[in-house]
Structure 1
Amino acid sequence: MNMPNQTDVQVQRIRAIGLTVTNCDRSLDFYTQALLFELVSDITVAGQDYTDLEGVIDAKIRIVTLRLGDELIELMEYLNVEGKPIPSDSQSNDLWFQHLAIVVSDMDRAYAHLHSFPIAPISVEPQTIPPGNKASGGVRAFKFKDPDGHDLELIWFPPDKGQDKWHQKKNRLFLGIDHSAIAISNTDQSLHFYCDLLGMQIDSHSLNWRATQARMDDLPGAEVQITALQPVQDGVGIELLDYLVPGTGRPIPSDWKSCDIARVQVEFVVNNLEQLVNKLKQNRVQFVSPRIVQFSDRSRPYKQGCLVKDPDGHVVLLIRHRLSP
């Protein structure tokens, strides 16, 4: 696999992560109270541009933007379409699995705080990855679901792990978002998409298994190959979760749309959107948007956008930021 250089068409950074929600007010309450996100903006958008961008006819979307530390999420409620709920029997190896890893300064305090809110736990309790795991030994994590069933993770890094900013002294309990992890069916296939085509770079590899991973994922005998990826400007990364045991779960249904609640879309700022779109078309990547959508609406932070799917059907929003040249 060829590593990108600075002149390649590539992802620069992740601007935000969008979650389709059933009710923005309910999700806003949860994320601001249980996880201490802060409100940035609350807008409603509609029109042909958003219909084309998201592939949902007559889309009318309320978008609530929230910040935690340096990172943003967008809660997206489709006001005129009722999306399908996340399957209640979802597991971590199903290919629609995608979690946000929220960094905490004190796992025990964060875990206690979280339990006064309506969460559905995935992990038995916070788990500590064994020291024999070079990439993530000593990391503590707890997985759970938000009121819509979106997968979330609290993560705590020991002094020798994680980005430097997670170790700067801050008197906050919830610090920001480290990465979004996605279940995949084949590591090489996903690396071709995210590294060869989008220009992300491999940060680390690890193999997580034994009882700790089983208790974390609520999957007996879980064994997962993890590949961490970073954009060239660092910040939020992507983790590829390739489950070797019990193996790849169910595929993402081909008829799921952006209005369905399981949809999570990562917003990638790219340095040349037109060139990248042409490159993806040449490589037969599946597009949701029929065109690059141009936005004159100054309420949106990007000038152009185009929604595509990765090899397993996770959606990726490629954008040209208004601050870009």
Structure 2
Amino acid sequence: MTTPSQTDIQVQRVRAIGLTVTNCLRSLNFYTQALGFELVSDITVAGEEYSNIVGVPGAEIRIVTLRLGDEIIELMEYLNIDSQPIPSDSQSNDLWFQHLAIVVSDMDRAYAHLCAFPIQPISTAPQTIPPGNEASGGVRAFKFKDPDGHDLELIWFPPDKGQDKWHQNQDRLFLGIDHSAMAISHTEQSLHFYRDLLGMEVDSRSLNWRATQARMDNLPGAEVKITALRPVQDGVGIELLDYLVPGKGRPIPSNWKSCDIAHMQIQMVVNNLEQLVEKLRRNGVEFVSPQIIQLRDSSFAYRQACLVKDPDGHALLLIAE
């Protein structure tokens, strides 16, 4: 088995996380006012290059870039193509579930502030993970949906948990993005992809259950095996959520596209994109982009990109800066 120490082809860091949205202005207002994000740029892209990346011919896309602390998200509105909404009955164990974990310095204040905005709660209220959980005991979390139905989480780390930076900027209420968590069907299958092929490193493992997890996920009897991974340069991580109870939810439909609202894409900076793409092809990974796409538009923060899918259909935009 290939491990990160045996290869120099690997993901270095997460640059940004993209979300397809119904209306950029509505989402911009929500993320800036409810969650403290700041506007970085607002561009519209069209043409063959970006259409080839996302696998949507003739797309005209407004991309609004927002920053929270060190982290970046991109809101992507397809201006000339109809988008399918996220199913209204989505649950946390459905395999399209993927959330952003937004770190806060004070959970009670952040929760009170957020409740003044149009959110759809998932959790009954902020939950505290029991102390018996070695990896995440004492962590507080609250899950909810944005106006489009994208899954989000507020998370607060006690002094002995989380990255150092989450304990250094207590003057702000909303601090940044710690990770993106996604429902998966098989832990070992996903580990082969993220650890063995992409070179990410396992950061922690835990089993979350009991009433706390059920209230957090709004899933009776929820029991979930969590594997956290980080890129070699640290920063935003990925959490694999393997639901043991109530079991796996629905798979991502094969006809969903980048223009559909459930679409999220994690932008991963790669140190050798050509070699990694070849490695992924040899391992039967699904590609959305037909090949590595060269971007001549200087408004992009990267020069090459290729969109692929993990074993469960979650999208990753592999980029070379």
- Report the TM-score range of the alignment, normalised by the length of the smaller protein: over 0.9
Equivalent position of 1:29 in the other structure: 29
Equivalent position of 2:256 in the other structure: 256
| Cα root mean square deviation, aligned | 0.7
Does 120-129 or 48-57 show the bigger shift?
48-57
Deviation at 1:195, TM superposition (A): 0.6
Deviation at 1:156, TM superposition (A): 0.1
**Structure 1: how far apart are the matches of 2:7 and 2:98?**
30
Deviation at 1:274, TM superposition (A): 0.4
State the secondary structure of the residue aligned to 2:286: coil
Gaps of 5+ in 1: none
**Structure 2: how far apart are the matches of 1:51 and 1:233?**
30
**Structure 1: how far apart are the matches of 2:3 and 2:295?**
32
Residues 1:151 and 2:171 are matched in the alignment: no
Spell out the pairing of 1:50-89 with structure 2 (5 A cutoff). 50-89=50-89
CA deviation digits over 1:20-64, x for unaligned, max 9? 000000000000000010000000001001111000010110000
State the secondary structure of the residue aligned to 2:252: coil
TM-score, with length taken from structure 2: 0.99
Residues 1:187 and 2:187 are matched in the alignment: yes
Equivalent position of 1:205 in the other structure: 205
Spell out the pairing of 1:157-306 with structure 2 (5 A cutoff). 157-306=157-306
State the secondary structure of the residue aligned to 1:165: helix
- The 8 Å contact of residues 169 and 175 in structure 2, kept in 1 or not, is answered as no
- The AA in structure 1 aligned to 2:319 is I
Q: How many residues align?
A: 321
Equivalent position of 1:41 in the other structure: 41
**Structure 2: how far apart are the matches of 1:94 and 1:169?**
35
The percentage of aligned residue pairs carrying the same residue is: 79
Change (3 A) 1:12 1:6: farther
State the secondary structure of the residue aligned to 1:17: strand
Gaps of 5+ in 2: none
- The AA in structure 2 aligned to 1:300 is F
TM-score, with length taken from structure 1: 0.98
CA deviation digits over 1:107-126, x for unaligned, max 9? 00000000000000000000
CA deviation digits over 1:86-133, x for unaligned, max 9? 000000000000000000000000000000000000000000000000
Equivalent position of 1:17 in the other structure: 17
State the secondary structure of the residue aligned to 1:123: coil
Deviation at 1:2, TM superposition (A): 3.6
Runs of 4 or more, structure 1, over 3 Å off, are none
- The AA in structure 2 aligned to 1:100 is L
**Structure 2: how far apart are the matches of 1:281 and 1:142?**
38
